[in-house]
Protein backbone atom coordinates (compact mmCIF):
# COMPACT_ATOMS: atom_id res chain seq x y z
CA UNK A 1 0.00 0.00 0.00
CA UNK A 2 1.23 3.50 -0.79
CA UNK A 3 2.60 5.68 1.95
CA UNK A 4 1.12 9.14 1.94
CA UNK A 5 2.98 12.36 2.65
CA UNK A 6 0.59 14.16 4.90
CA UNK A 7 1.24 17.61 6.28
CA UNK A 8 0.03 19.33 9.38
CA UNK A 9 -2.50 22.18 9.46
CA UNK A 10 -5.84 23.31 8.04
CA UNK A 11 -4.43 24.48 4.71
CA UNK A 12 -3.30 21.00 3.87
CA UNK A 13 -6.80 19.65 4.65
CA UNK A 14 -8.26 22.30 2.34
CA UNK A 15 -5.83 21.27 -0.37
CA UNK A 16 -6.98 17.66 -0.09
CA UNK A 17 -10.60 18.84 -0.30
CA UNK A 18 -9.72 20.80 -3.44
CA UNK A 19 -8.43 17.62 -5.11
CA UNK A 20 -11.39 15.49 -3.98
CA UNK A 21 -13.34 14.14 -6.97
CA UNK A 22 -16.27 13.25 -4.73
CA UNK A 23 -16.50 16.66 -3.02
CA UNK A 24 -19.69 17.62 -4.88
CA UNK A 25 -21.56 14.60 -3.47
CA UNK A 26 -21.76 16.46 -0.16
CA UNK A 27 -24.50 18.56 -1.78
CA UNK A 28 -26.62 15.43 -2.06
CA UNK A 29 -27.12 15.40 1.72
CA UNK A 30 -28.84 17.65 4.25
CA UNK A 31 -26.63 19.54 6.70
CA UNK A 32 -29.08 21.22 9.11
CA UNK A 33 -26.27 21.84 11.63
CA UNK A 34 -23.37 23.00 9.45
CA UNK A 35 -20.88 23.25 12.31
CA UNK A 36 -21.53 19.73 13.62
CA UNK A 37 -18.98 17.18 12.41
CA UNK A 38 -20.79 13.89 11.94
CA UNK A 39 -18.52 10.86 12.34
CA UNK A 40 -21.18 8.18 12.65
CA UNK A 41 -22.11 7.53 9.02
CA UNK A 42 -20.94 3.96 9.63
CA UNK A 43 -23.82 3.54 12.05
CA UNK A 44 -26.56 5.73 10.56
CA UNK A 45 -25.93 7.46 7.24
CA UNK A 46 -27.01 11.05 6.67
CA UNK A 47 -30.34 11.93 5.06
CA UNK A 48 -30.03 12.33 1.26
CA UNK A 49 -32.00 15.22 -0.28
CA UNK A 50 -33.44 12.80 -2.85
CA UNK A 51 -34.89 10.72 -0.05
CA UNK A 52 -36.94 13.67 1.18
CA UNK A 53 -38.59 13.98 -2.24
CA UNK A 54 -38.97 10.23 -2.77
CA UNK A 55 -40.46 9.82 0.71
CA UNK A 56 -43.02 12.55 0.04
CA UNK A 57 -44.09 10.85 -3.20
CA UNK A 58 -44.26 7.46 -1.49
CA UNK A 59 -46.49 8.83 1.25
CA UNK A 60 -48.69 11.35 -0.54
CA UNK A 61 -49.03 9.83 -3.97
CA UNK A 62 -48.37 6.11 -3.69
CA UNK A 63 -50.00 5.45 -0.34
CA UNK A 64 -52.32 8.46 -0.15
CA UNK A 65 -53.73 8.31 -3.68
CA UNK A 66 -52.93 4.87 -5.15
CA UNK A 67 -53.78 2.94 -1.98
CA UNK A 68 -53.91 -0.85 -2.56
CA UNK A 69 -53.18 -0.35 -6.27
CA UNK A 70 -49.62 0.47 -5.24
CA UNK A 71 -48.81 -3.23 -4.87
CA UNK A 72 -49.22 -3.73 -8.60
CA UNK A 73 -47.51 -0.45 -9.40
CA UNK A 74 -44.08 -1.26 -8.06
CA UNK A 75 -44.45 -2.29 -4.42
CA UNK A 76 -44.70 -6.04 -4.97
CA UNK A 77 -41.48 -6.16 -7.01
CA UNK A 78 -39.56 -3.75 -4.81
CA UNK A 79 -37.61 -6.36 -2.74
CA UNK A 80 -36.07 -7.79 -5.91
CA UNK A 81 -35.78 -4.47 -7.77
CA UNK A 82 -33.98 -2.71 -4.93
CA UNK A 83 -32.04 -5.92 -4.27
CA UNK A 84 -30.66 -5.80 -7.83
CA UNK A 85 -29.41 -2.29 -7.19
CA UNK A 86 -27.67 -3.38 -4.01
CA UNK A 87 -26.30 -6.36 -5.94
CA UNK A 88 -24.56 -3.94 -8.33
CA UNK A 89 -22.61 -2.60 -5.35
CA UNK A 90 -21.71 -6.09 -4.18
CA UNK A 91 -20.51 -7.63 -7.43
CA UNK A 92 -23.60 -9.84 -7.53
CA UNK A 93 -25.27 -10.72 -10.84
CA UNK A 94 -29.08 -10.47 -11.11
CA UNK A 95 -31.46 -12.67 -9.13
CA UNK A 96 -29.25 -13.20 -6.10
CA UNK A 97 -30.03 -10.30 -3.73
CA UNK A 98 -33.36 -9.38 -2.10
CA UNK A 99 -34.28 -6.69 0.36
CA UNK A 100 -36.01 -8.15 3.40
CA UNK A 101 -36.34 -8.07 7.16
CA UNK A 102 -33.28 -7.05 9.20
CA UNK A 103 -29.66 -8.16 9.14
CA UNK A 104 -30.05 -10.33 12.24
CA UNK A 105 -33.16 -12.06 10.89
CA UNK A 106 -31.57 -12.62 7.49
CA UNK A 107 -28.55 -14.07 9.24
CA UNK A 108 -30.83 -16.46 11.10
CA UNK A 109 -32.51 -17.58 7.87
CA UNK A 110 -29.24 -18.19 6.06
CA UNK A 111 -27.45 -19.87 8.96
CA UNK A 112 -30.32 -22.35 9.32
CA UNK A 113 -30.34 -22.95 5.55
CA UNK A 114 -26.57 -23.46 5.48
CA UNK A 115 -26.46 -25.88 8.41
CA UNK A 116 -29.16 -27.99 6.81
CA UNK A 117 -26.98 -28.20 3.69
CA UNK A 118 -24.02 -29.63 5.62
CA UNK A 119 -25.40 -32.61 7.53
CA UNK A 120 -22.74 -34.52 9.44
CA UNK A 121 -20.70 -31.37 10.10
CA UNK A 122 -21.22 -29.83 13.49
CA UNK A 123 -19.01 -26.74 13.77
CA UNK A 124 -19.71 -23.10 13.07
CA UNK A 125 -16.60 -20.93 12.88
CA UNK A 126 -16.73 -17.21 13.65
CA UNK A 127 -14.50 -14.84 15.61
CA UNK A 128 -14.44 -12.89 18.87
CA UNK A 129 -14.57 -9.58 16.97
CA UNK A 130 -17.90 -10.34 15.32
CA UNK A 131 -20.94 -8.18 16.04
CA UNK A 132 -22.52 -9.65 19.20
CA UNK A 133 -25.99 -9.85 17.64
CA UNK A 134 -24.53 -12.16 15.00
CA UNK A 135 -23.17 -14.41 17.74
CA UNK A 136 -26.50 -14.37 19.60
CA UNK A 137 -28.23 -15.50 16.41
CA UNK A 138 -25.73 -18.35 16.08
CA UNK A 139 -26.33 -19.38 19.69
CA UNK A 140 -30.08 -19.37 19.10
CA UNK A 141 -29.67 -21.52 15.98
CA UNK A 142 -27.57 -24.05 17.90
CA UNK A 143 -30.23 -24.27 20.59
CA UNK A 144 -33.01 -24.72 18.03
CA UNK A 145 -31.06 -27.58 16.46
CA UNK A 146 -30.92 -29.42 19.78
CA UNK A 147 -27.40 -28.33 20.78
CA UNK A 148 -25.91 -30.62 18.17
CA UNK A 149 -23.52 -27.93 16.87
CA UNK A 150 -20.61 -26.05 18.45
CA UNK A 151 -19.57 -22.48 17.82
CA UNK A 152 -15.84 -21.97 17.55
CA UNK A 153 -14.75 -18.34 18.00
CA UNK A 154 -11.31 -17.60 16.58
CA UNK A 155 -9.42 -15.40 19.06
CA UNK A 156 -7.74 -12.06 18.41
CA UNK A 157 -4.42 -11.28 20.05
CA UNK A 158 -4.76 -7.50 20.06
CA UNK A 159 -8.53 -7.08 19.92
CA UNK A 160 -8.04 -5.35 16.56
CA UNK A 161 -7.40 -8.05 13.97
CA UNK A 162 -7.62 -11.81 13.50
CA UNK A 163 -4.56 -13.65 12.25
CA UNK A 164 -5.47 -15.42 9.02
CA UNK A 165 -3.41 -18.52 9.86
CA UNK A 166 -5.19 -18.94 13.19
CA UNK A 167 -8.49 -18.76 11.33
CA UNK A 168 -7.35 -21.25 8.68
CA UNK A 169 -6.14 -23.65 11.38
CA UNK A 170 -9.66 -23.70 12.81
CA UNK A 171 -11.16 -25.04 9.56
CA UNK A 172 -11.48 -28.78 9.04
CA UNK A 173 -13.84 -31.59 8.07
CA UNK A 174 -16.11 -30.74 10.99
CA UNK A 175 -16.72 -27.17 9.78
CA UNK A 176 -20.20 -26.66 8.36
CA UNK A 177 -20.18 -22.88 8.14
CA UNK A 178 -17.77 -19.96 8.41
CA UNK A 179 -19.51 -16.69 9.20
CA UNK A 180 -17.70 -13.41 9.82
CA UNK A 181 -18.11 -9.67 9.50
CA UNK A 182 -16.25 -8.50 6.40
CA UNK A 183 -15.37 -5.29 8.26
CA UNK A 184 -15.31 -5.70 12.04
CA UNK A 185 -17.62 -3.29 13.89
CA UNK A 186 -15.24 -2.11 16.59
CA UNK A 187 -11.76 -1.92 15.08
CA UNK A 188 -12.66 -1.66 11.40
CA UNK A 189 -10.45 -4.69 10.57
CA UNK A 190 -11.10 -5.80 6.98
CA UNK A 191 -10.87 -9.50 6.12
CA UNK A 192 -9.26 -10.78 2.91
CA UNK A 193 -12.66 -12.17 2.00
CA UNK A 194 -11.67 -13.95 -1.20
CA UNK A 195 -8.82 -15.89 0.44
CA UNK A 196 -10.97 -16.82 3.44
CA UNK A 197 -13.84 -17.96 1.19
CA UNK A 198 -11.51 -20.11 -0.89
CA UNK A 199 -9.88 -21.70 2.14
CA UNK A 200 -13.27 -22.44 3.74
CA UNK A 201 -14.44 -24.07 0.52
CA UNK A 202 -11.30 -26.24 0.45
CA UNK A 203 -12.38 -27.49 3.86
CA UNK A 204 -15.85 -28.21 2.45
CA UNK A 205 -17.57 -25.49 4.48
CA UNK A 206 -20.08 -22.87 3.39
CA UNK A 207 -19.33 -19.16 3.86
CA UNK A 208 -21.61 -16.36 5.01
CA UNK A 209 -20.32 -12.78 5.13
CA UNK A 210 -21.95 -9.96 7.08
CA UNK A 211 -21.39 -6.83 5.00
CA UNK A 212 -22.89 -4.35 7.48
CA UNK A 213 -19.79 -2.18 7.76
CA UNK A 214 -18.41 -2.77 4.28
CA UNK A 215 -21.22 -2.30 1.73
CA UNK A 216 -20.97 1.18 0.25
CA UNK A 217 -17.48 1.77 1.66
CA UNK A 218 -15.33 -1.15 0.52
CA UNK A 219 -15.42 -3.03 -2.80
CA UNK A 220 -17.29 -6.33 -2.51
CA UNK A 221 -17.19 -8.99 -5.27
CA UNK A 222 -19.52 -11.74 -4.08
CA UNK A 223 -19.72 -13.63 -7.41
CA UNK A 224 -16.01 -13.38 -8.10
CA UNK A 225 -15.07 -14.48 -4.59
CA UNK A 226 -17.40 -17.49 -4.87
CA UNK A 227 -19.28 -16.51 -1.70
CA UNK A 228 -22.24 -18.71 -0.75
CA UNK A 229 -24.31 -16.36 1.41
CA UNK A 230 -24.20 -12.75 2.57
CA UNK A 231 -26.31 -10.35 4.61
CA UNK A 232 -26.07 -6.66 5.37
CA UNK A 233 -27.94 -3.57 6.43
CA UNK A 234 -28.80 -0.48 4.43
CA UNK A 235 -28.83 2.26 7.05
CA UNK A 236 -25.05 2.62 7.35
CA UNK A 237 -22.98 3.62 4.29
CA UNK A 238 -25.98 3.05 2.02
CA UNK A 239 -27.92 5.85 3.76
CA UNK A 240 -31.27 4.03 3.75
CA UNK A 241 -32.51 5.69 6.96
CA UNK A 242 -33.11 4.48 10.53
CA UNK A 243 -34.34 0.89 10.56
CA UNK A 244 -34.42 0.59 6.76
CA UNK A 245 -34.74 -3.06 5.72
CA UNK A 246 -31.71 -5.27 5.20
CA UNK A 247 -30.72 -7.55 2.30
CA UNK A 248 -29.51 -11.07 1.75
CA UNK A 249 -27.53 -12.83 -0.99
CA UNK A 250 -27.73 -16.49 -1.95
CA UNK A 251 -25.51 -17.63 -4.82
CA UNK A 252 -27.52 -18.70 -7.85
CA UNK A 253 -26.56 -22.38 -7.88
CA UNK A 254 -27.47 -22.82 -4.20
CA UNK A 255 -30.96 -21.37 -4.50
CA UNK A 256 -32.77 -24.65 -5.27
CA UNK A 257 -31.24 -26.44 -2.33
CA UNK A 258 -31.20 -23.66 0.26
CA UNK A 259 -34.42 -23.40 2.26
CA UNK A 260 -35.53 -20.64 4.56
CA UNK A 261 -36.55 -21.75 8.06
CA UNK A 262 -39.31 -19.11 8.08
CA UNK A 263 -42.09 -20.01 5.68
CA UNK A 264 -44.29 -17.07 4.81
CA UNK A 265 -46.56 -16.15 1.95
CA UNK A 266 -44.06 -13.81 0.24
CA UNK A 267 -41.80 -16.83 -0.29
CA UNK A 268 -44.63 -19.07 -1.49
CA UNK A 269 -44.88 -20.29 -5.11
CA UNK A 270 -48.20 -18.57 -5.82
CA UNK A 271 -49.27 -16.57 -2.77
CA UNK A 272 -52.59 -15.47 -4.22
CA UNK A 273 -53.82 -19.03 -4.71
CA UNK A 274 -54.02 -19.07 -0.91
CA UNK A 275 -53.02 -22.73 -0.90
CA UNK A 276 -53.02 -24.35 2.51
CA UNK A 277 -49.63 -26.01 1.99
CA UNK A 278 -46.35 -24.12 1.72
CA UNK A 279 -44.46 -24.57 -1.53
CA UNK A 280 -41.26 -22.47 -1.76
CA UNK A 281 -41.05 -20.32 -4.84
CA UNK A 282 -38.07 -20.60 -7.17
CA UNK A 283 -35.05 -18.38 -6.82
CA UNK A 284 -34.01 -15.85 -4.25
CA UNK A 285 -37.59 -14.79 -3.43
CA UNK A 286 -38.07 -17.95 -1.35
CA UNK A 287 -36.12 -16.14 1.35
CA UNK A 288 -38.79 -13.46 1.65
CA UNK A 289 -41.24 -13.89 4.50
CA UNK A 290 -43.97 -11.27 4.49
CA UNK A 291 -45.17 -7.77 3.64
CA UNK A 292 -42.42 -5.41 2.56
CA UNK A 293 -42.00 -2.22 4.65
CA UNK A 294 -42.79 -0.11 1.59
CA UNK A 295 -42.24 3.33 3.12
CA UNK A 296 -38.66 2.54 4.02
CA UNK A 297 -37.89 0.38 0.98
CA UNK A 298 -38.85 2.82 -1.79
CA UNK A 299 -36.76 5.80 -0.63
CA UNK A 300 -33.73 3.50 -0.37
CA UNK A 301 -33.68 3.21 -4.12
CA UNK A 302 -32.78 6.85 -4.69
CA UNK A 303 -30.23 6.75 -1.87
CA UNK A 304 -28.52 3.79 -3.59
CA UNK A 305 -28.35 5.75 -6.86
CA UNK A 306 -26.04 8.26 -5.17
CA UNK A 307 -23.60 5.52 -4.18
CA UNK A 308 -23.76 4.00 -7.67
CA UNK A 309 -23.14 7.39 -9.31
CA UNK A 310 -20.08 7.99 -7.15
CA UNK A 311 -18.78 4.48 -7.87
CA UNK A 312 -17.38 2.13 -5.26
CA UNK A 313 -13.79 2.36 -6.58
CA UNK A 314 -13.68 6.14 -6.13
CA UNK A 315 -15.40 5.80 -2.75
CA UNK A 316 -12.77 3.32 -1.58
CA UNK A 317 -9.94 5.50 -2.88
CA UNK A 318 -11.20 8.48 -0.92
CA UNK A 319 -11.93 6.34 2.13
CA UNK A 320 -8.34 5.06 2.22
CA UNK A 321 -7.02 8.61 1.97
CA UNK A 322 -9.44 9.89 4.64
CA UNK A 323 -8.69 7.14 7.17
CA UNK A 324 -4.92 7.34 6.49
CA UNK A 325 -4.99 11.10 7.06
CA UNK A 326 -6.95 10.55 10.26
CA UNK A 327 -4.45 7.95 11.48
CA UNK A 328 -1.61 10.41 10.75
CA UNK A 329 -3.35 13.10 12.83
CA UNK A 330 -4.14 10.65 15.65
CA UNK A 331 -0.51 9.64 15.86
CA UNK A 332 0.83 13.18 15.89
CA UNK A 333 -1.84 14.93 17.99
CA UNK A 334 -3.72 12.38 20.12
CA UNK A 335 -1.27 9.63 21.01
CA UNK A 336 0.74 12.12 23.14
CA UNK A 337 -2.49 12.72 25.12
CA UNK A 338 -2.92 9.07 26.11
CA UNK A 339 -4.90 7.78 23.13
CA UNK A 340 -3.95 4.65 21.25
CA UNK A 341 -5.01 3.48 17.80
CA UNK A 342 -7.68 0.75 17.99
CA UNK A 343 -7.63 -0.02 14.26
CA UNK A 344 -5.20 -1.64 11.82
CA UNK A 345 -2.43 0.68 10.61
CA UNK A 346 -2.36 -0.81 7.13
CA UNK A 347 -5.21 0.71 5.08
CA UNK A 348 -5.46 -2.53 3.08
CA UNK A 349 -6.70 -4.16 6.31
CA UNK A 350 -9.08 -1.38 7.30
CA UNK A 351 -12.62 -0.37 6.41
CA UNK A 352 -13.87 3.22 6.60
CA UNK A 353 -13.94 3.76 10.34
CA UNK A 354 -11.09 4.23 12.78
CA UNK A 355 -11.22 3.55 16.52
CA UNK A 356 -9.24 5.41 19.12
CA UNK A 357 -8.90 4.13 22.64
CA UNK A 358 -8.53 6.11 25.85
CA UNK A 359 -9.16 5.10 29.49
CA UNK A 360 -11.60 8.05 29.69
CA UNK A 361 -13.15 7.18 26.33
CA UNK A 362 -16.77 7.28 27.49
CA UNK A 363 -16.49 10.73 29.11
CA UNK A 364 -14.49 12.14 26.21
CA UNK A 365 -17.14 10.88 23.81
CA UNK A 366 -19.85 12.59 25.89
CA UNK A 367 -18.04 15.92 25.92
CA UNK A 368 -17.50 15.73 22.16
CA UNK A 369 -21.22 15.32 21.60
CA UNK A 370 -22.47 17.75 24.27
CA UNK A 371 -19.98 20.60 23.89
CA UNK A 372 -17.64 20.21 20.97
CA UNK A 373 -19.93 19.63 17.98
CA UNK A 374 -18.38 16.29 17.10
CA UNK A 375 -20.63 13.25 16.81
CA UNK A 376 -18.79 9.90 16.91
CA UNK A 377 -19.94 6.86 18.87
CA UNK A 378 -18.61 4.86 21.77
CA UNK A 379 -18.07 1.12 22.01
CA UNK A 380 -17.18 -0.49 25.32
CA UNK A 381 -14.84 -0.50 27.11
CA UNK A 382 -12.79 2.45 25.84
CA UNK A 383 -13.35 2.80 22.07
CA UNK A 384 -14.38 6.00 20.36
CA UNK A 385 -15.32 5.13 16.79
CA UNK A 386 -14.72 7.72 14.11
CA UNK A 387 -16.68 6.79 10.98
CA UNK A 388 -15.69 8.50 7.75
CA UNK A 389 -18.34 8.44 5.03
CA UNK A 390 -16.56 9.30 1.77
CA UNK A 391 -19.69 10.75 0.16
CA UNK A 392 -19.95 13.56 2.68
CA UNK A 393 -17.00 13.58 5.10
CA UNK A 394 -14.37 16.12 4.07
CA UNK A 395 -10.67 16.26 4.91
CA UNK A 396 -11.33 19.55 6.72
CA UNK A 397 -13.90 17.70 8.87
CA UNK A 398 -11.18 15.24 9.85
CA UNK A 399 -8.69 17.99 10.69
CA UNK A 400 -11.24 19.95 12.71
CA UNK A 401 -12.56 16.85 14.54
CA UNK A 402 -9.09 15.84 15.73
CA UNK A 403 -8.49 19.41 16.92
CA UNK A 404 -11.70 19.39 18.90
CA UNK A 405 -10.87 16.00 20.46
CA UNK A 406 -7.46 17.35 21.40
CA UNK A 407 -9.03 20.42 23.01
CA UNK A 408 -11.59 18.35 24.94
CA UNK A 409 -8.75 16.45 26.61
CA UNK A 410 -6.23 19.27 27.02
CA UNK A 411 -8.82 21.51 28.66
CA UNK A 412 -9.94 18.62 30.92
CA UNK A 413 -13.53 19.25 29.89
CA UNK A 414 -14.44 15.57 30.18
CA UNK A 415 -13.85 15.64 33.97
CA UNK A 416 -17.22 17.32 34.39
CA UNK A 417 -19.04 14.25 33.06
CA UNK A 418 -20.12 11.54 35.39
CA UNK A 419 -18.28 8.37 34.39
CA UNK A 420 -20.66 5.75 35.75
CA UNK A 421 -24.01 6.38 34.13
CA UNK A 422 -24.22 5.28 30.49
CA UNK A 423 -26.87 6.43 28.04
CA UNK A 424 -28.92 3.71 26.30
CA UNK A 425 -27.48 4.35 22.85
CA UNK A 426 -23.83 5.29 22.96
C1 LIG B 1 -25.12 -2.94 12.03
C2 LIG B 1 -24.86 -4.39 12.03
C3 LIG B 1 -25.89 -5.28 12.30
C4 LIG B 1 -27.26 -4.76 12.65
O5 LIG B 1 -28.21 -5.70 12.75
P6 LIG B 1 -29.77 -5.34 12.76
O7 LIG B 1 -30.40 -6.65 12.65
O8 LIG B 1 -30.01 -4.44 11.59
O9 LIG B 1 -30.08 -4.62 14.02
C10 LIG B 1 -25.60 -6.63 12.26
N11 LIG B 1 -24.36 -7.08 11.98
C12 LIG B 1 -23.35 -6.22 11.71
C13 LIG B 1 -21.99 -6.74 11.40
C14 LIG B 1 -23.57 -4.85 11.74
O15 LIG B 1 -22.56 -4.02 11.50
Instruction: Parse the chain into domains and list their residue ranges.
Output: 10-30+311-416, 52-308
Q: Ligand 1: which residue has its CA nearest to atom 1?
A: 212
On the question of a common fold for 10-30+311-416 and 52-308, the answer reads no
The pick from 43, 103, 181, 231 for probing ligand 1's pocket by mutation, whose C-beta has the most ligand atoms within 8 angstroms, reads 103
Ligand 1: which residue has its CA nearest to atom 12?
A: 212
CATH number of the domain at 52-308, out of 3.40.640.10, 3.30.565.10, 3.90.1260.10, 3.40.50.2020?
Answer: 3.40.640.10
pLDDT in tens, the chain (426 residues): 457 899 999 999 999 999 999 999 999 999 999 999 999 999 999 999 999 999 999 999 999 999 999 999 999 999 999 999 999 999 999 999 999 999 999 999 999 999 999 999 999 999 999 999 999 999 999 999 999 999 999 999 999 999 999 999 999 999 999 999 999 999 999 999 999 999 999 999 999 999 999 999 999 999 999 999 999 999 999 999 999 999 999 999 999 999 999 999 999 999 899 999 999 999 999 999 999 999 999 999 999 999 999 999 999 999 999 999 999 999 999 999 999 999 999 999 999 999 999 999 999 999 999 999 999 999 989 999 999 999 999 999 999 999 999 999 999 999 988 766 677 887
Counting ligand 1 atoms within 8 A of each CB, the residue from 40, 43, 44, 104 with the most, and so the one to mutate, is 104
Q: What residues are in contact with ligand 1 under a 6 Å CB criterion?
A: 102-104, 131, 133-134, 181, 185, 210, 212-213, 233, 246
CB crowding 341-354: b at 16 or more within 10 Å, else e: bbbbeebebbbbbb
Give the CATH fold of the 10-30+311-416 domain: 3.90.1150
CA of 286 to the centre of ligand 1 (A): 22
Q: Ligand 1 centre from 290 Cα, in Å? A: 20
Dihedral of alpha carbons 140, 146, 147, 153, sign: negative
In 358-424 the beta strands, taken as DSSP E runs, fall at: 374-375, 377-379, 383-387
Q: Classify residue 72 by its DSSP letter.
A: G
Residue nearest to atom 5 of ligand 1 (CA): 103
Residues with active-site annotation: 131, 210, 235-236, 385
Considering only CA atoms, which of 321, 391, 353 is closest in space to residue 183? 353
Task: Give the ranges where 90-226 is alpha helix by DSSP (H).
Answer: 103-116, 132-144, 164-169, 193-202, 222-225
Amino acid sequence: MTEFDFEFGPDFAKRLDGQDELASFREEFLFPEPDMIYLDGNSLGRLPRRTVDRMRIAVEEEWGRDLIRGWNAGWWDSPLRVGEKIGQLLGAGPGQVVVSDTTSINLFKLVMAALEMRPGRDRIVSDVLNFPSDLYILQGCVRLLGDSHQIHLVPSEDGIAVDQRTLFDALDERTALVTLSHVVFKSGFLYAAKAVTERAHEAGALVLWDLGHSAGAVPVELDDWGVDFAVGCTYKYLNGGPGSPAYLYVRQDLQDEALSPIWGWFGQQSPFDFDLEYQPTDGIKRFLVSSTPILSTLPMESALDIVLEAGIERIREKSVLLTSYLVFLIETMLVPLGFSLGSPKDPAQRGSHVSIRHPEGYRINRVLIEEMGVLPDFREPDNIRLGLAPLYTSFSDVWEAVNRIKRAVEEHRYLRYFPGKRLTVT
